[in-house]
């Protein structure tokens, strides 16, 4: 009898393994970004029927650093983030990745490491995050729960790292915008799943409105905003409300689905009662 794999743990992998890992910054260049962009887009196209998104038009504010943050429930989240930054906003991603030493090539795409073995180790990544968010050719993307959680996990609770980044970004750059994102992976009418992304309300922090807030208060604001957009999207999808989504890609129907569509257009005469 096989033993069920434990899918979710409350302990981050680097803390669980109790190994100190050297901090590694992102290391991008044009060649590797082109390869990564093609590779990660192709991965989504091979597995999903469509990628739909809405609310992207008000995310970027000229001259202001932007941070996108979302729940982290499965392996695809980072790849979705990559395509959001590159395909929708045409910018480079900066993404904090735990155990980057196992996938060192991800540095070439914009990933940088975080070791959660100790607060001192994690602080290197947080300080680097503040550095890179000021480069407006980048978008910093964060999973602030700090660990993979099941889909629709409640309550949504963050570690305080995102609040630290927000506070120190305001000190250095004067203003920073944070945008919560809800990502749903679901089957609609096709035999393959779809990715649906909704961008929530932009949260702008400046020296005036953040100075009176401590880190826990900022964290609670960000938690509520993400819970709101996630709950709203789930409710709308449950009601079949997907008309407002733009399409990043949508696959052609497979041959057997085309046959099915043709058969649906054929009027079958009713069978006479005998």
- Encode pLDDT of 200-258 as tens digits: 999 999 999 999 999 999 999 999 999 999 999 999 999 999 999 999 999 976 656 66
Tell me the backbone φ, ψ of residue 209, rounded to 5 degrees.
Answer: -95, -5
Instruction: In whole angstroms, give the CA distance from residue 186 to residue 188.
Output: 6
pLDDT at residue 189, as a whole number: 86
Query: What pairs with residue 205 in β-bridges?
Result: 176
On the question of pLDDT at 106 being above 90, the answer is yes
Task: Give the pairing of strands 175-186 and 194-199.
Answer: antiparallel
CA angle 246, 247, 249 (to 5 degrees): 170
- Encode pLDDT of 4-56 as tens digits: 667 888 888 888 777 778 899 999 999 999 999 999 999 999 999 999 999 99
pLDDT at residue 2, as a whole number: 58
- The CA-atom distances, in angstroms, between 6 and each of 3, 12, 43, 200 are 9, 14, 26, 32
pLDDT at residue 268, as a whole number: 55
| Residues with Cβ within 8 Å of residue 104, at least 6 apart in sequence | 24
CATH number of 13-264: 3.40.1130
CA angle 131, 38, 103 (to 5 degrees): 55
Instruction: In whole angstroms, give the CA distance from residue 92 to residue 109.
Output: 8
pLDDT at residue 224, as a whole number: 97
pLDDT at residue 115, as a whole number: 87
On the question of pLDDT at 110 being above 90, the answer is yes
pLDDT at residue 11, as a whole number: 83
DSSP code for 74:
S
Structure tokens at 265: 């257009």
pLDDT at residue 91, as a whole number: 97
166 near 205, Cβ under 8 Å?
A: yes
| Average pLDDT of the residues in 87-100 | 94
On the question of pLDDT at 3 being above 60, the answer is no
- Encode pLDDT of 115-145 as tens digits: 888 888 889 999 999 999 999 999 999 999 9
Mean pLDDT check: name the lowest of 87-91, 95-99, 203-207, 253-257.
253-257
| Residues with Cβ within 8 Å of residue 103, at least 6 apart in sequence | 97, 111
pLDDT confidence of 271, banded at 50, 70, 90?
Answer: low
């Amino acid at each position: 009898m096989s033993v069920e794999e434990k899918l979710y743990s409350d302990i981050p992998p680097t803390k669980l393994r109790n190994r100190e890992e050297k901090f590694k910054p992102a290391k991008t260049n044009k060649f590797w970004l082109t390869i990564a962009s093609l590779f990660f887009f192709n991965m989504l196209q091979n597995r999903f029927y469509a990628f739909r998104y809405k609310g992207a038009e008000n995310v970027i504010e000229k001259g202001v650093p932007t941070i996108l943050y979302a729940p982290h429930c499965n392996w695809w989240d980072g790849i979705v983030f990559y395509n959001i930054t590159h395909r929708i906003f045409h910018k480079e991603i900066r993404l904090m990745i735990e155990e980057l030493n196992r996938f060192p090539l991800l540095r070439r795409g914009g990933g940088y490491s975080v070791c959660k073995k100790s607060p001192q180790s994690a602080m290197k990544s947080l300080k680097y995050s503040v550095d890179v968010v000021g480069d407006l050719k980048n978008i910093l993307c964060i999973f602030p729960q700090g660990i993979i959680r099941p889909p629709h996990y409640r309550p949504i609770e963050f570690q305080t790292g995102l609040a630290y980044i927000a506070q120190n970004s305001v000190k250095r750059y004067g203003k920073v915008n944070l945008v919560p994102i809800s990502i749903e992976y679901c089957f609609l009418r096709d035999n393959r799943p779809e990715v649906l992304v909704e961008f929530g309300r932009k949260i702008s922090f400046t020296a005036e409105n953040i100075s009176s807030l401590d880190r826990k208060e900022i964290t609670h604001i960000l938690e509520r905003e993400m819970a709101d957009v996630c709950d709203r999207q789930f409710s709308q999808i449950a009601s079949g409300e997907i008309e407002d989504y733009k399409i990043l890609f949508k696959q052609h129907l497979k041959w057997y689905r085309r046959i099915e569509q043709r058969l649906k257009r054929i009027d079958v005469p009713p069978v006479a009662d005998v």
